[in-house]
């Protein structure tokens, strides 16, 4: 069965420091992997996706994600965190039922402190 | 484009009442979805639709109904509201098969007391 796990409920980072939000996956076949962000009182927004190709994927707002097949991970990274990056981050994989349905992780709350 | 819009933003229901959550998208997307978001649980798919007149159940459909009479609109109906339906509800839409990028509305925060 397809699934994703986000092992950290919350990540705390000082502004200007690099950040990492972790995601591990379990899929059959070649993985399609996604990151979404939810700012306070807003709906989710698409950040980036890995379908195939380079293991380092660049997305919106300066975020990138590193695909690691041997570790079945897809960690979200940013070299220098901003206070405005504080949000809830979700990793996702496709639902085998098709129709662009997604299976979301439980989410990781990122808090960036000034 | 307004994207995906949802109304109302907030609602308090008494146990046993019914209501409809409205969702409209102006991107001409065929696929639409309803999710509920509970703290620490991520998003759970309630119902989805692949086009006007076609709907299907997701992971947690009990207590809900949907319809899709037009491409733009995908209302979610709660019958006989229960405290377990207290949640934040999100509507989303997506383009054709394989795009996986879903566009979300701002959500409806529902409390059932």
Question: Is B42's Cβ below 8 Å from some Cβ in A?
Answer: yes
In a domain, B108, yes or no: no
Cβ pair B33:A101 closer than 8 A: yes
3-state SS, residue A67: strand
Give CA B101 to chain center in angstroms.
17
- Considering chain B, what percentage of its residues have pLDDT values greater than 90? 88
Cβ pair B48:A99 closer than 8 A: yes
In a domain, B81, yes or no: yes
**The predicted structure's pLDDT at residue A52:** 84
**Overall number of domains in chain B:** 1
Question: Is B40's Cβ below 8 Å from some Cβ in A?
Answer: yes
Q: Measured between alpha carbons, how far is A50 from A72 in angstroms, rounded to an integer? A: 13
- For all residues of chain A together, what is the average pLDDT? 94
Chain position carrying tokens 């995601």:
A23
- What is the largest distance, in Å, between two alpha-carbon atoms of chain A? 43
Q: Measured between alpha carbons, how far is B31 from A88 in angstroms, rounded to an integer? A: 24
Chain B nearest C-alpha distance from A74 (Å) = 17
List, as ranges, residues 17-76 from A with C-beta within 8 Å of B: 32, 34, 41-46, 49
Give CA B96 to chain center in angstroms.
19
pLDDT above 80 (res B101): yes
Residue B112's pLDDT band (cuts 50, 70, 90): very high
Structural domain of residue B18, as residue ranges?
Answer: 4-96
A26-79: pLDDT as tens digits: 998 889 999 999 999 889 999 999 998 889 999 999 999 999 999 999 999 999
In chain A, domain spans? 3-113
B76-86: pLDDT as tens digits: 999 899 999 99
Cβ pair B45:A101 closer than 8 A: yes
Torsion-angle region of residue B50: left (phi > 0), alpha (psi -120 to 50) or beta?
Answer: alpha
Cβ pair B106:A43 closer than 8 A: yes
- Considering chain A, what percentage of its residues have pLDDT values greater than 70? 100
pLDDT above 90 (res A81): yes
Residue B82: phi and psi, rounded to 5, are -130, 155
pLDDT above 80 (res B40): no
A86-107: pLDDT as tens digits: 999 999 999 988 888 999 999 9
The answer to whether B89 and B35 are in contact (CB under 8 A) is yes
In the CATH scheme, what is the code of domain A3-113?
A: 2.60.40.10
pLDDT above 90 (res B50): yes
Question: Is B62's Cβ below 8 Å from some Cβ in A?
Answer: no
Q: What CATH number has the domain bearing residue B66?
A: 2.60.40.10
Cβ pair A43:B58 closer than 8 A: no
């Amino acid at each position: 069965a397809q699934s994703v796990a986000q092992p950290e409920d919350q990540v705390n980072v000082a502004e200007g420091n690099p950040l990492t939000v972790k995601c591990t996956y379990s899929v059959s076949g070649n993985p399609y992997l996604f990151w979404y962000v939810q700012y306070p009182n807003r709906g989710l927004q698409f950040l980036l996706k890995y379908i195939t190709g380079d293991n380092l994927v660049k997305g919106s707002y300066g975020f990138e994600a590193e695909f690691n097949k041997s570790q079945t991970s897809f960690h979200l990274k940013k070299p220098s965190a901003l206070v405005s990056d504080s949000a809830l981050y979700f990793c996702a994989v496709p639902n085998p039922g098709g129709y662009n349905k997604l299976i979301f992780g439980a989410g990781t709350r990122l808090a960036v402190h000034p | 484009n307004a994207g995906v819009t949802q109304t109302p933003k907030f609602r308090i229901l008494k146990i046993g009442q019914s209501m409809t959550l409205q969702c409209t998208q102006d991107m001409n997307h065929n696929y639409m979805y309803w999710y509920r978001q509970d703290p620490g649980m991520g998003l759970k798919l309630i119902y989805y639709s692949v086009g006007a007149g076609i709907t299907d159940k997701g992971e947690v459909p009990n207590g809900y109904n949907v319809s899709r009479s037009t491409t733009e609109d995908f209302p979610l109906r709660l019958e006989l509201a229960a405290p377990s339906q207290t949640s934040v509800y999100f509507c989303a839409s997506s383009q054709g098969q394989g795009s996986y990028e879903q566009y979300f509305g701002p959500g409806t925060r529902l409390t059932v007391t």
